[in-house]
Structure 1
Amino acid sequence: MFRPTPLNLPSYPLKLRRIKEKIYVFDELRRKNLLLTPEEWVRQHWIHHLHTYKQYPKSLMHIEGGMTLNGRQKRTDLVIYNQQGQKVLLAEFKAPGVKISQKTFEQISHYNIRHRIPLLLVSNGIEHFFCKINFEDSSCEFLQDLPNYIQ
């Protein structure tokens, strides 16, 4: 059974429910209960943080969008759009016990070849990395924090 790990994010009282010895979390974006895994624990806290502290509208967040990459089906953890329907942020979440590595950055970079999103977020709930991508000169700038949605 999953034991919640304290994260390096503001706490959030997730709506948890036990069903037949398993713990589920209510996902406010998909409006359904999901099996609570360590990665889902991180994702749900980030959704709350992005909405509450960074003003990203929940209505513009999309979880686990499917895509085909090199002939294999993949799922993005979170994509956020702007009011014009353009993708503005791509996030990759890992469980708190999973170290953020070069492989993690390669994973999100491969996803972003297709999406071409200017802001990237990589987090395991403990460590967070933010990148701004400039597609004109193919550069990547690490940021101290994510900008607010309005910025």
Structure 2
Amino acid sequence: KKWLVLTPEEWVRQHFLQYLVQVQQYPSSFIAVEKTVKLGELNKRFDLLVYDRLHQPWLMVECKAMEVPLTESVLHQILRYNLAIPVPFLVITNGKDCVGYHRSNGRLSLLTELPEYL
């Protein structure tokens, strides 16, 4: 375990993580928190990555502080991460709002709810 500074973004990340585990019943052992992803020469960190039961990346979450609106630039950020770690499901949240996408055949479609864990 590692001590973290409770920044506004960290608050959102920790609460969304608990939502995934306690409400959505995603197994915590299949969720990676803040790991490095290589984008060209840059090292970036995704917020949450959920693996399926075959240990394949399945759902990626980008968290922002509550006062940060979920704009197109936030979507572009998670899409860049998705180039390095392809997943079928993408979620962006600021704790107040949450937008999910299903990526299939190079297209994004809006989700009406989070997918059930496989």
TM-score (norm 1): 0.75
Return the offset for 1:70: 2.7
Q: Which amino acid aligns with 1:145?
A: E
User: Once the 2 structures are TM-superposed, how far is the Cα of residue 33 of structure 1 from its aligned partner?
Assistant: 2.5
Q: Identity rate of aligned residues, in percent?
A: 36
Partner of 1:28: none
Structure 2 partner of 1:81: 51
Deviation at 1:34, TM superposition (A): 1.0
Is 1:144–2:117 an aligned residue pair?
Answer: no
Other-structure match for 1:124: 94
Greater RCO, 1 or 2 (C-alpha within 8 Å, sep 6+) = 2
Distance 2:106 2:94 in 1: 26
1:103 Cα deviation after fit:
0.4
Say what the alpha-carbon RMSD is for the aligned residues: 1.0
Distance 1:105 1:32 in 2: 28
What code does the residue aligned with 2:108 have?
Answer: C
TM-score if structure 2 supplies the norm length?
Answer: 0.95
- Counterpart amino acid of residue 67 in structure 2: G
- 5+ long unaligned stretches in structure 1: 1-30
Q: Which has the larger radius of gyration?
A: 1
| Structure (1/2) with the larger helix percentage | 2
